[in-house]
Amino acid sequence: MAEIKIVQCKKCKSVTRFNGSSGNCIWCGENVQYIEGMMTYSDSGRCEKCGTRIDGVCSDCNSNTYVKRPSGLKAREILIGPYITWDQFNRDIIDFSDSLKGKGYDAVIGVPRSGLVVATQMSIRMGLPLYSIGEYGPIYLGGGLRVRKRVIESIPKKALLVEDSTASGTSVSEAVRWMGDEMESWGVSIAAVYATPSQVKNIDEYHRELELPHWFEWNLMWNNYLMEQLKIAVDFDGILCPDFTVEQDDDGWRYLDAMKKARCLVPKGTYIHAIITARLEKYRPWTEEWLGKFGIKYKHLIMGGWETKTERERSCIGSYKAGYAEKLGCKLFIESCPSQAVVIKDKASCAVLCPELGGSIVK
């Protein structure tokens, strides 16, 4: 059986699997580099997309597919998938917009909410009027002074209805229903930046094909169902709020002041199965107050039992976090510190996602 490796593309930073038969990123075609220590399963099977026998990545259709695996594999092996950051998302929107130029589209319609991000950038880059959509049809949002006159004088004849991604097709189907008669009279084509293999046949334009699972920076923390089903654990500083500066991290009044004033980096009302932080237990009252202030709900708040910052610095924080992740049965850990992420990966059975490293990391 071939040994499957995890690789990261130098260009687009996508993390994918590699069996040694190809040195190109399945997403952008650039050369990939093997990340030392990032191993996953050893198995063989057939591509779920085209049926060709493969070792993780199909050389015929180039799909990043999941082969059938024997039972008993750890959760981290099931959760491997690309992590799309905001930066990658923006680069993909630019490339997608450029690929659509010259195809005759005369308007862009964004499906709220994240589809509007795509549509707004597309409308600017392609010089087209921008629309949103609601239950009663398309809503004109503007097109700048140069485009506005053209919109007033004519209705679209070849419009593009845009989503950020489509996995099940539910949101696209709802958007089509909202468009009503304008789907035909406006000559609407459906587009998504990312599409799963099952949805490619249901849309007209897409930029990248993504197998499930995949992770998006802009909605991972919004999905309360996913948080509970996967029992996701998260770091605190660097994930829920910005990391403290060296000056602020004095284990004294500066630290406490910065803690109280810290910005929240996740949506209000976010639910988290377990917050596992190296913050000292003595700061629990202020930590709980901050979480309550921003409406962050959680099942577990694990804080460090060290007496002082100096005592904590003599410990292996990654091992401490890994131990609690294992104890609480977490299947995914979102960690801000790359070095701690590697330790958690080595010592816990859960998958580890470190935004700084660009994606999920596994053994």
DSSP state of 236: S
Tokens for 136, please give them.
Answer: 């009663």
| Cα gap 116→106, rounded to integer Å | 17
Tens digits of per-residue pLDDT, 115-144?
999 999 999 999 999 999 988 888 888 765
Q: Give CA angle at 293 (289, 297), nearest 5°.
A: 85
Asked if the domains at 86-209 and 216-361 fall in one CATH topology, the answer is: yes
Least reliable range by pLDDT among 123-137, 192-206, 208-222, 272-286: 208-222
| Residue partners of 348: CB distance under 8 A and separation at least 6 | 322, 323, 325, 326, 330, 333
Whole-Å CA distances, 307 to 251, 254, 272, 310: 10, 18, 26, 8
How far is it, in rounded angstroms, from Cα 67 to Cα 104? 40
pLDDT (average), residues 309-313 = 90
Residue 70 in this model has a pLDDT that exceeds 70: no
Place of tokens 């094909």: 209
For the segment 56-62, the average pLDDT, to the nearest whole number, is 40
Top pLDDT among 163 and 42 is at: 163
Cis peptide before 197 (omega within 30 of 0): no
Q: Is the pLDDT of residue 55 over 50?
A: no
55-66 in b/e burial notation, b at 16+ Cβ within 10 A?
bbbbeeebbbbb
Q: DSSP labels for 51-116?
A: --EESSB-TTT--B-PPP--TT--HHHHS--BEE-HHHHHHHHHHHHHHHTTS---EEEEPTTHHH
Q: How confident is the model at residue 167 (pLDDT cuts 50, 70, 90)?
A: confident
The whole-number pLDDT of residue 51 equals 46
Q: What are the backbone dihedrals phi and psi of residue 141, each rounded to the nearest 5 degrees, phi first?
A: -105, -15
CATH 3.40.50.2020 fits 86-209, yes or no: yes
Q: How far apart are CA 118 and CA 108, in angstroms?
A: 9
Encoding tokens for residue 345? 């990966």
Measured CA to CA, the distance from residue 353 to residue 344 in angstroms comes to: 10
Give me the CATH topology for the region 216-361: Rossmann fold (3.40.50)
The proportion of the chain whose per-residue pLDDT surpasses 90, expressed as a percent, equals 46
Q: To the nearest 10°, report the CA torsion of 190, 195, 198, 199.
A: -10
Query: Do 16 and 32 meet the contact criterion of CB atoms below 8 Å apart?
Result: yes
What confidence tens digit (pLDDT) does each residue in 226-257 have? 776 778 899 999 999 999 998 998 989 999 99
Taking the domains of the chain in order of start, what are their residue ranges? 3-73, 86-209, 216-361
Instruction: Supply the DSSP string of 162-231, one letter for each residue.
Output: EEEEESSSHHHHHHHHHHTTHHHHTT-EEEEEEE-HHHHTT-SEEEEE-PSS-EETTTGGG-HHHHHHTT
Residue for token pair 């923006």: 90
pTM over 0.85: no
